[in-house]
């Protein structure tokens, strides 16, 4: 009888340890897929970050909750690759106080070194945030 209880106890302990290990690896895997920039800095955008994540085959950039949309006529998402090529993407402000907090990076962008907020009307850089290393 004690032999059966010991086996059940041992099985439960092994199962609990296995669940803990899988949870740790899953958490580290999610963290490894997400990369965050340094805080934005510039003439109109100071503070907030952008986070890169991969959702399936899509590369997604997301602005942090503390990001403040600049009060300018036409702020846009812009990314810069490791060679210095810039890619003007989507308008940041949709309508009124709504804005694109998240954007899918087009497949023709080879890598991302920096995320910029660009005023297309004034053709001025409003703020930029760089990744520690270019993301591919």
- Render pLDDT for 12-34 as a digit per residue (tens, 0 to 9): 554 455 444 333 333 333 344 68
The answer to whether residues 105 and 56 touch, using CB atoms and an 8 Å cutoff, is: no
- Digitized pLDDT (tens) for each residue of the chain, 136 residues in all: 455 554 665 555 544 554 443 333 333 333 446 899 999 999 999 999 999 999 999 999 999 999 999 999 999 999 999 999 999 999 999 887 789 999 999 999 999 999 999 999 999 999 999 999 888 7
Q: Is the domain of 6 the same as that of 73? A: no
Q: What is the total count of domains within the chain?
A: 2
Domain check: are 59 and 123 in the same one?
yes
Domain shared by 98 and 40, yes or no? yes
State the CB neighbour count (10 A cutoff) for residue 48. 18
Pick the closest to residue 41 from 15, 65, 8, 67 (CA basis).
67
Same structural domain for residues 15 and 62? no
129 and 81 share one domain? yes
The answer to whether residues 78 and 130 belong to one domain is yes
What span, in angstroms and rounded, lies between the C-alpha atoms of 41 and 125? 10
- Whether residues 128 and 113 share a domain: the answer is yes
Same domain, 67 and 95: yes
Range of the domain at 120: 35-135
The two three-digit tokens of residue 27, written as one number: 């958490």
Co-location of 47 and 108 in the same domain: yes
For the entire predicted model, the pTM comes to 0.73
Is the domain of 62 the same as that of 123?
yes
Map the chain to HEC letters.
CHHHHHHHHHHHHHHHHHHHHHHHHHHHHHHHHCEECCCCECCCCCCCCEEEEEECCEEEEEECCCCCCCCCCCEEEEEECCCCCEEEEEECEEECCEECCEEEECCCCCCEEEEEEEECCCCEEEEEEEEEEEEC
CATH number of the domain encompassing residue 104: 2.60.40
């Amino acid at each position: 009888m004690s032999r059966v209880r010991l086996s059940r106890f041992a099985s439960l302990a092994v199962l609990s340890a296995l669940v803990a290990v899988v949870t740790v690896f899953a958490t580290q895997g999610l963290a490894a897929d997400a990369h965050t920039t340094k805080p934005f800095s510039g003439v109109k955008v100071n503070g907030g970050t952008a986070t890169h994540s991969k959702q399936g085959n899509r590369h997604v950039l997301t602005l942090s909750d503390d990001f403040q949309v600049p009060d300018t006529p036409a702020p846009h998402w812009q990314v810069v690759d490791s060679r210095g090529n810039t890619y003007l993407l989507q308008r940041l402000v949709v309508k009124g106080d709504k804005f694109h907090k998240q954007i899918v990076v087009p497949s023709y962008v080879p890598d991302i070194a920096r995320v910029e907020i660009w005023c297309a009307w004034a053709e001025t850089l409003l703020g930029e945030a760089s990744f520690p290393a270019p993301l591919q």
